[in-house]
Amino acid sequence: MKIEAVETFLVHAGAPGETAWSGNTGTKAGGMSMGTTRHWLFVRVTVEGGLTGVGEGSGWPRVVETAVNDLAPLLIGQDARHIEKLWGMMHLATMSHGQVGTVGGGAVGAVDMALWDIKGKALGVPVHELLGGKVRDSLPAYAHASTPEKARKAWDMGYRAFKSGNVKGTVEKVAALRKELGPQADLMVDLHGPPWLTVGDAIAMGRALEPFDLMFLEEPLPPENLEGYGRVRDAVALPLAAGERHSSNLWSAAPLIQRGLIDVVQPDSGRCGGITQFRKIAALAESHFVQVAPHAGTLGPVAEFAALHSMSAIPNAMVLEKFATDWEGRYQVVTQEPQMKDGRMVVPDAPGLGVDLNLDEVRKYPGGHNASIPNTVSYADGTQEEYVYVQPRWQRTTAFGHERD
């Protein structure tokens, strides 16, 4: 099964309809999910005889495409069945470039994903069978909801878990969601920047959110501040989640897990180094009693299928991230859509990943500009164009839900 070709397809995707960043369409105030810059990078690997496998690389899709094309000559002529060996070869090829973080994880992972797809197709079995078989037939998914109205709409679609984000008006939003949905709903909060919180403010925010019994509190601090994660961990009585910005492979995710800084690890299936690394991160997490809830906010459908297979075959799978209402072209660019039933995603049983590219649709959305400045709405008034990474909270009597008559 010699590799004959490695092709890339960069898709300019539209924005989902649920997040606070989605409504921004200008390059100055947008986010990764905004309609003008959201991209998906698909990869197709062809082996002798014409069998193909598909993968997806995220992290910075336009740059990831360049990395995949640079790796491609090294892969031609290699045996596609030797997935672990080829992962190591590609990883070593990134060493002279400083390992390149999520870009490297996205590029290596996209090819890795396609190789697992090929092996499954060649053997006539779904990828989860290659990973040890299904632990479960379906997995719960959570929707994004920044308002009670959006949460109720998703509830009526079958979702029972919901995540709200942003570091502005957080407590009020969560209080409104809890009031609307009651105690039977599971709620999560994502506190990622910009601007990122200081340790003291993250602790204050976490304590203000404790009464709402969150499933987890996500990214309360910038990813570089591991010492700060330990301080938040000791001070806040909520499960902590992180990992989407740490996990370009097993080694980058390890400190969060091994130092006991989190309860939930969030590898992104499009940039964590592929299925090969996803299962290793999950195994390390299992050994430390940490659950897995992959990041998927900006991912396309191929990486979604990869996460579904990977999560179905591990014991410590917690929940999958999903937009209840995404860009209308999401499942037009592929041949299959994951089946949803009662707020759960059904694990596919077709050979390989169970999905392929619809190239006629893919070519309708050629790639374009893929960089933007994230939403600046959470900065203190008058500081939006200072572009600071971390910023203390102003108007603290309201920032943490403590406003009184």
The token duo for 121 is 């197709």
Q: Which residues of 342-353 are buried (b: 16+ CB within 10 A; e: fewer)?
A: ebbbebbebbbb
Q: How far apart are CA 55 and CA 114, in angstroms?
A: 4
List Cα–Cα distances, 300 to 178, 271, 358, in angstroms. Answer: 30, 12, 13
Q: How far apart are CA 267 and CA 113, in angstroms?
A: 14
Q: What is the dihedral of CA 370, 104, 363, 45, to 10 degrees?
A: 180
Taking the alpha carbons at both ends of the chain, their separation in whole angstroms is: 72
The reply to whether 192 belongs to the active site is: yes
| Length of the chain counted residue by residue | 405
Q: How far apart are CA 66 and CA 7, in angstroms?
A: 11
The DSSP output letter for 331 is T
| Contact (Cβ atoms closer than 8 angstroms) between residue 139 and residue 311 | yes
Catalytic one among 144, 192, 246, 309?
192
Q: How far apart are CA 103 and CA 65, in angstroms?
A: 9
The reply to whether 246 belongs to the active site is: no
The token duo for 136 is 């479960």
Q: How far apart are CA 386 and CA 264, in angstroms?
A: 33
3-12 β-sheet, strand order:
3-12, 39-47, 52-57
| Contact (Cβ atoms closer than 8 angstroms) between residue 104 and residue 274 | no
Catalytic one among 12, 39, 91, 295?
295
Backbone angles phi and psi of 196, in degrees to 5: -70, 155
Q: How far apart are CA 35 and CA 357, in angstroms?
A: 21
Residues marked as catalytic? 192, 295
